[in-house]
Structure formats: structure tokens, C-alpha cells
Amino acid sequence: MLEQLKRDVYEANMDLQRYGLITFTWGNASGIDREQGLFVIKPSGVPYERLTADMMTVMDLKGNKVEGNYAPSSDVKTHLVLYNSFPKIGGIVHTHSLWATSWAQAGTDIPCYGTTHADYFYGSVPCVRNLTKEEIDEDYEYNTGVLIAEYFLNKSGGKSCSDAGDNTEEFEKYIAVPAVLCKNHGPFTWGKSANEAVYHAVVLEKVAEMAAYSKRINPDLQEAPRILQDKHYLRKHGKNAYYGQKGV
């Protein structure tokens, strides 16, 4: 069942290790088949050197295990909530990568200080609040997903940005900023596929590192001008985007 997706999710998980985003088993990636309403996720606590594609676990969108000999990642309920809440995503990644997690532990958004950030994230990468004791005791991982989803779907009515002038084009917040920091915990990223979610996790880590160094060099640093942020995000993602090659 879903053999190609299992291979894709396996490779995405191995890429987290290749790109230096995980230590030991501190991370997971998943991918979804929207037509079948099933997603594939890394098994819990299995060392990366032992992972194989056929060890991936298949889940449905009600949280039931459909196939697999291993228990799914302990973060499976967070992935479940995000897949149910964000219908345009195809993959999710969670890590405890050094720089992004440092911002999460500091409880601080990552401001957009420059164009590298603006190319991928429209505005600050948010750090959402801690869960309450009741939310943790009730269902920690599930409520982590609820907290993330509520932030993105309720923030500005779920919309994030618009083209300047007469060329108005709105972006859903979770598409315009495909990353979040959970306070005192770590980052989650997502994308159209598990591979793109990994890509965003790599970019997030570099952006977090550059932001930390920039703030250290200049403690009074302010965010990049909005017009510059607009230019860089919209030239890649706006309706009149021109970055890259057409059809490639």
C-alpha cells in the first residue's frame, strides 16, 4: 500500500539527517495521499541507520493505523491535525534543529531581516504560545496541532498578504509562511510534498541562524522594509512571479 509514498517519506526522513537537522531520533517527516485520505509517517524512536521504506507507518485521517508493523511517530496527532486543517499541504516535517529550536526556546518569532527570508516566508516566522496545563494533560500532541492550526487559520482571517497596487492577490497564511515555532519545543514546516517540507526546514534553519547572527551584530536591527519583502516574496510566489524558468 502506498509504496511510492513510503519511499518518498523514507527519503524525506533520511534527508533530515543528511542536512544535519536531526540528532539521534529527534525528528520526523510525513507525506499524504489526498485521494486516498491516507498519510505515511516515520515510526517512533527508530534510529535513522535502521530505517527502511517498508518500516513507514500508514495512517488515516481519523488517526487510525491502516498498515505497518511499528507504532507511528509520537507526533503523529500533530501531523493529523495539520493535514485535516491545511488542505493544500502534502508533507510535514518536525525537527529539533539547533537554530530554529533556539528561537523556539527563546519564545521569539524570527523576524524577516533580509531577502533570503523573504524569498520563502512572507513576514516573520511565528512562535506560538505554550499549551496550558489542561491542554497538555488532555492530549499534548493533538493540541499542539490545534494550536498551530488555530494560529494560521484565525490570523487575519487565514489570509496573509496581497500584491501592491491594483494587482491584488491574497495568500493563505499557512501557504505564505510554511513554518512555525512551538514555544519551548521546536519547529514544524510543511509543503506540497514531504520533500518540499524538508526543503522549507532547511531554509528555516539557515534563516534562523542568519537572524541570530544579524541580531548579535546589531542589537537594534529592524525588519527589512516591507516593500523589499514584498518584492522578493511576490517575484517567486505572486500571480506575476518571474523568478526561475517556466515549465521547469
Q: How far is Cα 130 from Cα 108, in angstroms, rounded to an integer?
A: 12
CB 48 within 8 A of CB 230: no
Phi first, then psi: give them for residue 40, nearest 5 degrees: -115, 135
Strands 38-41 and 57-60: antiparallel
Q: Would you call 113 a catalytic residue per the annotation?
A: no
Question: Would you call 140 a catalytic residue per the annotation?
Answer: no
Give the long-range contacts of residues 166-174, CB within 8 A, separation 24 or more: 167/238, 167/239, 167/240, 169/238, 169/239, 171/122, 171/237, 172/88, 174/86, 174/88, 174/89
The active-site residue, picked from 119, 140, 142, 151, is 119
**Contact yes or no for 31/8 (Cβ under 8 A):** yes
Residue 34 cell numbers, joined: 489526498
User: Which positions are annotated as active-site residues?
Assistant: 119, 243
